[in-house]
Amino acid sequence: MRECLSIHVGQAGIQIGDACWELYCLEHGIQPDGTVLDSKKDRLENAKMAPVAASFDTVFWETRAGKQVPRAFFMDLEPTVIDGIRTGKYRSLFHPEQLVSGKEDAANNYARGHYSVGSEMIDLVLERIRKLAKPCGGLQGFLIFRSFGGGTGSGFTSLLMEQLSIHYGRKTKLEFCVYPAPRISTAVVEPYNSVLTTHSTMEHSDCTFMVDNEALYDICHHQLGIERPSYTSINRLVGQVVSSITASLRFEGPLNVDLIEFQTNLVPYPRIHFPMTAFAPIVAAEKAYHKAFSVSDITTACFESSNQLVKCDPRLGQYMACCLLYRGDVVPKDVNAAIAAMKSRQSIQFVDWCPTGFKVGINNHPPTMLPGGHLAKVQRTVCLLSNTTAVVEAWARLDHKFDLMYAKKAFLHWYIREGMEEWEFSEAREDLAALERDYEELGPSLRYDDKNEY
């Protein structure tokens, strides 16, 4: 078996998790109460459900009563968001022990999530994760969903990652992180939380896939034509990406990609583990009939900045590695032709020490779109995970915002009051400066300045 556990931390992690499990259930024909639509009669009655696949026990486990339960764990330091799942459509899908909430919020404060409030919850959380991991025959690793800017997402996750490294040392830990966007912010202290959590999880995370809300909003607004995108809209988009990444664990395919293969192919050095994500085709339901999407078309599209889930310009850097995950009606011959065409383009520059650069996964199970959603049903999709030196632009932008606040020691007393010390901020900032230098050394990229800001 190749089980993987999903851990959803904080409001962003939980809401993305809600969208992911909704999509998984649809893809595998699992109803909101955990029962599987198995008979032909059932499937005819519920035609919206996709056909059941045999290998979904990597992400679901079966109870004695024959009910499917997600291999997932949801955790927040305050109850509001988790209560939404406890009372929502999928309340019967999860075991009550998989949903843990505290009584006191981290209040957008890394120090509360990591030290004062979070440290009281960590033992209970580890015990619940141990119970989920115990029945796994061959646990591959953990998928961790969180935001960089929130208190629980930044503080508690870094505490949890340290403990997971101690208790499950050799297991892969992949993160899906909502990164602070250039112009959109939900908290003033996002730069502090993000720099502190990046520093403290640097050695514990194997690979961190970044998305940011501004890029997601732009995609929803410009490409899907959603006038006022909601968190549900952007989370469902992230759900499609996560589904593409885990598809080879859940469905049989001609060219499968394991969790461990991602880090092997995408991470040239341990610290350089922040790939960007892109997805194609992103097309509104009402426009689908007017467009054709060949393998070549969608491959070209996912290298365009308008399809990227992080706001930074890939033309300003060089690619170190790319992972292309195809789903649906795709054959290797078309993929090879599309990649050859991409390699011949001037706009796609690879570092000189990594000549091959492309890792490919192909899965024949067609992509599933949620009924009533904004995304059109298409025959094939591709998800691009690319490790590029251009991402240094995002780090430089974040460090610049950190420096502006830290120079005036603004908001620092909230962290010090919860048990942190000033040297921890300086140390974290130095580590991020070193990360920027690491990227600069790997390949030339245009430095960030105020004129480059979106």
Q: Kindly report, residue by residue over 103-150, the tens digit of the pLDDT.
A: 998 999 999 999 999 999 999 999 999 999 999 888 999 999 999 999
Query: What's the average model confidence in pLDDT over 276-296?
Result: 84
Q: Residue 450's pLDDT is what?
A: 46
The helix/strand/coil state of 258 is coil
- CB count in 10 Å sphere of residue 115: 17
**Residue 118: C-alpha distances to residues 102, 103, 115 (Å):** 9, 11, 6
The number of beta carbons lying within 10 Å of the beta carbon of residue 52 is 15
Q: Which of 92-96, 265-269, 442-446 has the lowest mean pLDDT?
A: 442-446
In the predicted model, is pLDDT for residue 259 greater than 50? yes
Please identify every residue annotated as catalytic.
261
Residue 310: partners with Cβ closer than 8 Å, 6 or more residues away: 179, 210, 211, 212, 215, 276, 277, 391, 394
- Please give the pLDDT value at position 51: 45
- The pLDDT score that the predictor gives to residue 39 is 46
Average of per-residue pLDDT values in the chain: 89
Position 316 pLDDT exceeds 70: yes
Q: What pLDDT shows up at residue 290?
A: 63
Instruction: Read off the pTM.
Output: 0.92
Distance CA 367, CA 374 (A): 14
**Is the predicted pLDDT of residue 50 greater than 70, yes or no?**
no
Buried b or exposed e, range 175-193, using 16+ CB within 10 angstroms = bbbbbbbbeeeebebbbbb
In the chain the first and final C-alpha atoms are separated, in Å, by 45
Alpha helical stretches, state H, 6-113? 10-28, 40-45, 80-86, 110-111
Cα gap 393→312, rounded to integer Å: 7
Per-residue pLDDT for 92 more than 50? yes
- What 3-state class would DSSP assign to 135? coil
Summarize the confidence of residues 397-423 as an average pLDDT: 94
User: By CB neighbour count within 10 A (0-12 exposed, 13-18 middle, 19+ buried), where does 277 fall?
Assistant: buried
- pLDDT > 90? residue 170: no
Nearest to 102 by CA among 84, 87, 83, 130: 83
Alpha-carbon torsion (439, 440, 445, 451), positive or negative:
positive
Return the DSSP state at 369. Answer: -
311-318: average pLDDT: 88
Question: What mean pLDDT do residues 430-441 have?
Answer: 94
